[in-house]
Amino acid sequence: MTPVHHALVLNLHQPAGNLDHLLAHEPWEAEQILYAMDRIPRTLWRDEDIGRVHLSLSGTLLETLSDPCFQARVYGVVDCGALLWHLQNDRIIRVLGTGYYHPVLPLIPAADREEQLARWRGIARHLLWRDRFAGFWPPEMGFSMELIPLLRRFGYRYVLVDSAHVEAVTPMSWPELRYRPHVARYDGQEIVVVVRDRELSDAQESGMEFEWFRREVEERTRWCDFPPLVTTATDGDNGGWFRNTSLGGSFWGEFWPAYMAQARADDATVRPTFIEDYLDRHGVWGEVTVRTGAWNTGWHSGHEFTQWTGSQAQRDALARIADTSREVHALRWQAGEQHVGNAAVWDALEDATWHLLRAETSCNIYWGETWVPRCDADLDRSREALQRAREGF
């Protein structure tokens, strides 16, 4: 049997200020999150020869980890500076591009998507010391075909999408659809689509033994007459399976050692790989289209973004984001056309922009209506900044 290539993807995200809040009110939860992140490179060190992990790190998380005041607060728990340094090790870790404030990209105005991607690229280049990020992780795996030209403009080679939303254009079997990379095209641009296996990812998130995973992968790829690429993607800092600090009963303490032992064997059937390496060696096959949607969370399937649009308060927040975005971009355009030289105007416009972008954080609208006031508060501050900018014209 041809060895199965396995791409492991972990998403790491914390909303702006959340870790500071948890440190003040739920310190053990904050420490568990930090331990879960710090454990990734430390576990991988001993497996540099074969360990391979893809990480998505939101801009707000990178911002928090690099803040000197935050670093000082948690120094006795985790050395954030060292953690950021170790995340640069591209022998074991490949970092995926994403949006700075972790927005569901298809739900925010098109004008803001580029800002989200550009600002993430800026902080990631600075902290991770690399200019190129080959893959893109859509926050919440929220994807729509109209994102393709934007992703290509930023130089991304491939994007991860959920298996529930992928449909074949080129006739293909179920294993081909799920376990081969494909091409998706929109408005004259194309990008490689890498398909996340939803069911195997669910198991990865909730806890699984390696032997079960191996048998399940073998069964799912049994009829593949090509080198299969199995992609599993989950959060890497949420849930007891990833946060558990004991050696047993956790992904890194129980699943990973058994995985590495098998991967080193001559008769290994599942081996970790970087997606880029697989693409370089095996290429892509066939064309697909991807329905607009996100990954599954809780009891939500991810179809039609019901996690973020299910209540009137959520829909109202999205409508207010769209209205504020139009005003922000219109005033920025006007200031540029009129060659406004007042520095205070540009400072106010920048203030308005970043509060708008932060309001778009997916968590603000995901938790039913609990965090919607956070979205409203940032939009209020964005509009206040717009008023200051208008007064300076």
Q: Which of 117, 98, 86 is nearest to 9 (CA)?
A: 98
Mean pLDDT of 243-254: 90
What number of other Cβ atoms are within 10 A of residue 5's Cβ? 23
Give the Cα separation of 74 and 58 in Å (integer): 19
* Three-state secondary-structure class, residue 187: coil
Residue 129, Cα to own-chain centre: how many angstroms? 19
Give the Cα separation of 153 and 67 in Å (integer): 30
Please report which confidence band the pLDDT of residue 182 belongs to, taking 50, 70 and 90 as the band edges.
very high
- Residues whose CB is less than 8 angstroms from the CB of residue 93 and which lie 6 or more positions away in sequence, other chains included: 40, 41, 44, 53, 54, 55, 87
Mean pLDDT of 128-133: 92
User: Is the per-residue pLDDT at 368 higher than 80?
Assistant: no
Please report which confidence band the pLDDT of residue 247 belongs to, taking 50, 70 and 90 as the band edges.
confident
Instruction: Count, in order, helices (H) and strands (E) of the chain.
Output: 18, 11
Which CATH number among 3.40.50.300, 3.30.565.10, 3.20.110.20, 3.60.20.10 corresponds to the domain 4-290? 3.20.110.20
The mean pLDDT of the chain is: 95
What number of other Cβ atoms are within 10 A of residue 92's Cβ? 21
Q: Which of 337, 346, 321, 379 is nearest to 112 (CA)?
A: 321
**134-148: per-residue pLDDT in tens?**
999 999 999 999 999
Please report which confidence band the pLDDT of residue 1 belongs to, taking 50, 70 and 90 as the band edges.
low
- Residues whose CB is less than 8 angstroms from the CB of residue 334 and which lie 6 or more positions away in sequence, other chains included: 393
Give the Cα separation of 302 and 300 in Å (integer): 6
Q: How large is the angle between the packed helices 343-359 and 312-337, nearest 10 degrees?
A: 160
pLDDT at 323: 98
Phi, psi of 230 (to 5 degrees): -100, 125
pLDDT at 86: 96
**341-362: per-residue pLDDT in tens?**
899 999 999 999 999 999 999 9
Q: How large is the angle between the packed helices 210-220 and 256-264, nearest 10 degrees?
A: 60
Phi, psi of 95 (to 5 degrees): -90, 135
Domain parsing of the chain, residue ranges: 4-290, 310-392
Please report which confidence band the pLDDT of residue 369 belongs to, taking 50, 70 and 90 as the band edges.
confident
Give the Cα separation of 240 and 327 in Å (integer): 43
**191-226: per-residue pLDDT in tens?**
999 999 999 999 999 999 999 999 999 999 999 999
Give the Cα separation of 4 and 180 in Å (integer): 11
**260-319: per-residue pLDDT in tens?**
999 999 999 999 999 999 999 999 999 999 999 999 887 777 788 989 998 999 999 999
Mean pLDDT of 60-65: 98
Residues 158 and 134: beta-carbon distance below 8 Å: yes
